[in-house]
Amino acid sequence: MKKDKTKPENTEEVKEEAAEAVETKEEQLQKALDEKNDQFLRLYAEYDNFRKRSQKEKQDIYSSSRADVIKDLLPILDNFDRAANNTDGSYEDYKKGIDLIFNQFIEVLTKNGVESYGERGEAFDPNIHNAVMTVEDEELGENQIASVFSKGYKLGDKIIREAVVTVANS
């Protein structure tokens, strides 16, 4: 009689093979779990590095843009300093210098995307204007700006400072 090697001869061999099969299943599951855990840890580390890198880039951009604006303002400060230290000039020369400095400052604001608003005759908008008084004015229509105490400024759609105004006929 030939022994069949695929069939175990006694129950003990059957138990051993079953135990080996169970261990193999447990080992396979543990191996799969370890692989998934390793994938998770690598993905987490990659995300954490991305987050830190993005935060650093954001901070660098912020610092760089601030430095660029300040760099644009320094020539204006130099011109103010020259004007303040000029004791030999006439009033007309002094006024002309201040006008040039003012225009230079407006250029820097325009270059950086800042726009002013709030002029006499414009329609009053409570979202972007701050009314501090109302007056009766026959030249202007209802809810129009009669005078401006301080102009408003915006950067794109973002209001930097509301215009402080007097509103006519409201």
- Domain assignment present for residue 139? The answer is yes
- Domain assignment present for residue 75? The answer is no
pLDDT for 31 beyond 80:
yes
Residue 157 domain boundaries: 113-170
CATH number at residue 142: 2.30.22.10
Which pLDDT value is given to residue 58? 95
pLDDT for 34 beyond 70:
yes
- Domain assignment present for residue 93? The answer is no
What domain count does the chain have?
A: 1
- Domain assignment present for residue 137? The answer is yes
pLDDT for 5 beyond 80:
no
Model pTM above 0.85: no
Which pLDDT value is given to residue 33? 95
- Domain assignment present for residue 43? The answer is no
CB neighbourhood size of 165 (10 A):
25
| Across 78-96, average pLDDT | 89
| Across 100-119, average pLDDT | 94
Q: Give the model's confidence band at 16: pLDDT under 50 very low, under 70 low, under 90 confident, else very high.
A: confident
